[in-house]
Amino acid sequence: MTEVRRIVAVSAGLSTPSSTRLLADRLTGAAERALGERGLKADVRVVELREVAHDIVNAMLTRVPTGDLPAILDDVSAADGVVAVTPVFSASYSGLFKAFFDVVEPEALDGTPVLVGATGGSPRHSLVLEHALRPLFSHTRSVVVPTGVYAASADWGADGEGARELDDRVGRAARQLALLAADHASGERDSRADPVDFADLMDGLGR
């Protein structure tokens, strides 16, 4: 039986169709092929944050995850690889994108490979990957793959060399994600299932 790696793509695009979703699909498609080359099967779930936007606000205000959000949070924490793609709004990731990762449990992405992607109207915001997304996922203790993918509007109509550039970056980033996801320990990390022994908790404390 072929081993499975769970890939969850989080897309913060707002329109339908959105170029953010388009990029997320390109990345997950490439990741699926790259895992396939390693003899692994990909189980891909794409999350459109727009569909749970109100639930994200509910969770932020009351910590109560409503609607489909609890299942999505479970999938994210159980993922072997996350593809996180946001449109650039006001020089950074969108508020919805950040709000979602604010309600993800702090330890949920610890050690999880993350591929960061962003879309924007002009190529001049491409460093958003480096100054906004990469630090966010460093904070969550994720392993951010070296190649992030930024797609400007013009990239979607590029020909020749330009078209290959986006394609190449997508492929390279996906191969890096697959490399890490292949080795990612499968199964959900849950300290509620596997507690630290009391004696270890008391280590260094007064008895």
**Footprint of other proteins on 175-194 (CB under 8 A):** 190-193
3-class state of residue 2 by DSSP: coil
Comparing CB distances to other proteins, the nearer of 90 and 198 is: 198
- 128: how many CB neighbours lie within 10 A of its CB? 23
Least distance CB 103 / other proteins (angstroms): 12
Looking at the chain, the number of H-run helices and the number of E-run strands are: 8, 7
Q: Would you count residue 1 as binding other proteins (CB under 8 A)?
A: no
Binders of other proteins among residues 56 to 85 (CB under 8 A) are: 57-58, 61-67, 70
- By rule CB under 8 A, what count of residues binds other proteins? 24
Contact yes or no for 107/75 (Cβ under 8 A): no
Exactly one of 111, 123, 162, 195 binds other proteins (CB under 8 A); which one? 195
Chosen residue from 1, 17, 160, 207 binding other proteins by CB under 8 A: 207
Angle at 156 between CA 97 and CA 137, to 5 degrees: 25
Tokens of 160: 């020749």
* Phi, psi (rounded to 5 degrees) for 190: -145, 110
Tell me which residues touch other proteins (CB under 8 A): 57-58, 61-67, 70, 190-193, 195-198, 201-202, 204-207
